[in-house]
Structure 1
């Protein structure tokens, strides 16, 4: 029987599976949405460098003791749809190596062959830790063995050596903030008294997980405090802002982004918005403010970031609708003109 989609392959092999996007940040992808993407009925929602970066977690029906993980990098066409020829090529390679059983043990040579295809990738350690933490939460499994030490440390930081903490334990904490209110309250009360490396690692994990609104607002307040310093640390502002990326829309965050865009933003903020908080740019006023600052202050970044944003389905119609807007700032109009002129050459 011909297999045309990854869902068909996994379903016919008798597995249950769930999917996560690992491109810009960790995000769950519903199986019904994935089916629509595979059928070409909608574009991939979170493209990065014209690819979908997927984590596929699966197990055999009736056996939840053993879970398997694949990391797949699927090319997208200019419309953001799956490149069907590439998908079929990958599936053919899978069937050749695994037969009809994705849980079949692979020999070393077979593993090397699959690893050498352009369709697999190895996530960065921070995303891998975030994924494992999210999976354990979503599968109702206990957190990692590193988690109790993190809780002990947060309860009494002065009595423990922060250098003994494991990244996976910090990721487990971040993954549980949205479902355990007491954890969010504890972290909000302790976070800014912790050593900077611990703060940075925790904030880096928070950007991959939904946060309770109260904690997100605490992080936004910390941005305001940083802005009031004689020499604000833009890296810290970017880290704090990115940490709120998984939180549901917040009016306070939109206002904060608008104020940051009005204050000669540096590269860190511009990259953070494109990489983690692109959903905020669905506000047309914020989008145009962002693109104007990008064109005026960071022309060296314009082409690359514009290409990434216009490939994002949530932003593409809004960007295209404004290409000929007569109210565009001259620098933005010129940057767009040069970009399209270069594309025609």
Structure 2
């Protein structure tokens, strides 16, 4: 093992400033102290997704903040959500070996700036590339974190959402511009402007905005607009399941849990409730609301009859039951004598008939 016990120890001894972000369900800051405790096996990873810790490490030199370096890592977790220590050690050894080979010296013998570590994850099996949506959101987050200007697409997006009177003219909007606009929601009245036009947005810019809203914490007015839109389109039943899924992602960070639970129950009881895309969005983004029994029970019943069948049930439950609080609550529901025959059958298909 190297002289660096953890990845956190390694980065701290560079000359770079850095931030760590959770990249699993949404982009969220992860404190350095918390991540070090995860690395030391003192606490489980706080937001597991698909049995792994998905993180981004952003490093930069304060004098050259535009020259930042990002590492995207996925590290396996054990059954209790703790980091697999052997995998962490393997990752760190590969990292240090790459740096030694590329720099011709042992890492940090002569500390350099962050750009020296740009290719440190080459051919590393623990690295990953985020999808286009999350990459755009992270790029917007990184520029805010390092106090850099937004992309060149930001200004046209800002003008579009400010305008409000010509919302059909969206075809020249850049995806990165919408990401910048939403992530910078606290700047220049951006959030108020988005709340004003939210219910009138055409489908394409609406769904694009929703994919980035899951990475911020909207205020009361914007939250009310998102919840109202989800309620309206669910009732009308005229939009695609894709749009319902996008709105569920946007709703996930709204502050009023009870109001969210009410609307989510409405979605589950609608014609969209059994759609795999809707189930997946609700489970992966609104999972915290599933801690309320009045939502968990209808969710499980709907999941049991979802349109994608047993495989979807198994996959969703394997992810949710990895979250300690949800595991206990779910097992309680699974053993309820009031469960339906469909749910009993789905549970049997997952665990075997001897479970109940």
> TM-score w.r.t. structure 2 length?
0.85
Are residue 169 (structure 1) and residue 177 (structure 2) matched? yes
* SS at structure 1 position matched to 2:139: helix
Q: Following TM superposition, by how much is the alpha carbon of 1:82 offset from its aligned partner in structure 2, in angstroms?
A: 0.8
Task: Provide the C-alpha distance between the structure 2 equivalents of 1:274 and 1:159, rounded to a whole number of angstroms.
Answer: 32
Residue 104 of structure 1, CA deviation: 5.7
Q: Does structure 1 retain, via aligned residues, the 8 Å contact 2:66–2:148?
A: no
Instruction: Report how far residue 210 of structure 1 moved.
Output: 1.7
Aligned pair 1:291/2:292, yes or no?
no
Tell me which residue corresponds to 1:46: 47
Specify the alignment match of 2:104 in structure 1.
none
Aligned: 1:128 with 2:129: no
Q: Are 2:257 and 1:250 aligned?
A: yes
- Are 2:271 and 1:270 aligned? no
Q: In the comparison of the two structures, how many residue pairs are matched?
A: 339
- Describe how 1:201-220 pairs up with structure 2 within 5 A: 201-220=208-227
* 3-state SS of paired residue (1:205): helix
Most deviating of 87-96 and 42-51: 42-51
Deviations 1:229-250 (A, max 9, x none): 2645433222222112223343
Q: Could you say if the C-alpha distance between residues 297 and 168 of structure 1 is closer, same or farther in structure 2, counting changes exceeding 3 Å?
A: closer
User: What's 1:69 paired with?
Assistant: 70
Per-residue CA deviations over 1:196-228 (Å, capped at 9, x if unaligned) read 322221122212222112112112111222233
Shift of 1:318: 2.1
Are 2:128 and 1:117 aligned?
no
Distance 1:302 1:76 in 2: 22
Partner of residue 315, structure 2 = 304
Q: Is the 8 A contact 1:208 1:245 kept in 2?
A: no
Q: State the shift of 1:2 in Å.
A: 2.0
Task: Please list every run of at least 4 consecutive aligned residues from structure 1 whose deviation after the TM superposition is greater than 6 angstroms.
Answer: none
Which 5+ residue runs of structure 2 have no aligned equivalent?
101-106
Distance in structure 1 (CA, Å) of the matches to 2:354 and 2:79: 14
Give the Cα separation in 1 of the matches to 2:266 and 2:221.
Answer: 20
State the partner residue of 2:103.
none
Measured in 1, the distance between the counterparts of 2:227 and 2:314 equals 30
How much does 1:26 deviate? 1.6
Q: Aligned with 1:70: secondary structure? A: strand
Distance 1:181 1:105 in 2: 36
When the two chains are superposed, the root-mean-square deviation of aligned CA atoms in Å is 2.7
Cα shift readout 1:255-288 (whole Å, capped 9, x = no counterpart): 1012222335122321111121111111122112
* In structure 2, C-alpha distance between the alignment counterparts of 1:104 and 1:175, rounded to whole Å: 25
In structure 2, do the counterparts of structure 1 residues 16 and 188 end up closer, same or farther at CA, with 3 Å as the change threshold?
Answer: same
Q: What is the CA deviation profile of residues 79-111 of structure 1, one whole-angstrom value per residue up to 9, with x for unaligned ones?
A: 11111111101100111111424836379xxx4
Question: Which 5+ residue runs of structure 1 have no aligned equivalent?
Answer: none
Deviation, structure 1 residue 160:
9.5
1:13 to 2:18 alignment: no
Q: 1:159 to 1:284 in 2, by over 3 A?
A: closer
| Counterpart position of 1:57 | 58
Cα 1:142–1:61 change in 2 (3 A) is closer
Higher relative contact order (CA 8 A, sep 6+): 1
Q: What is the aligned counterpart of 1:325 among 328, 331, 336? A: 336
Deviation at 1:337, TM superposition (A): 2.9
- Cross-structure match for 1:151: 158
Query: In the TM superposition, what whole-angstrom CA distance separates every residue of 1:137-177 from its partner, at most 9, and x where no partner exists?
Result: 23333322221111222233639953322212111111122
Question: Against the structure 1 CA distance between its residues 229 and 159, is the aligned structure 2 distance closer, same or farther, given a 3 Å change threshold?
Answer: closer
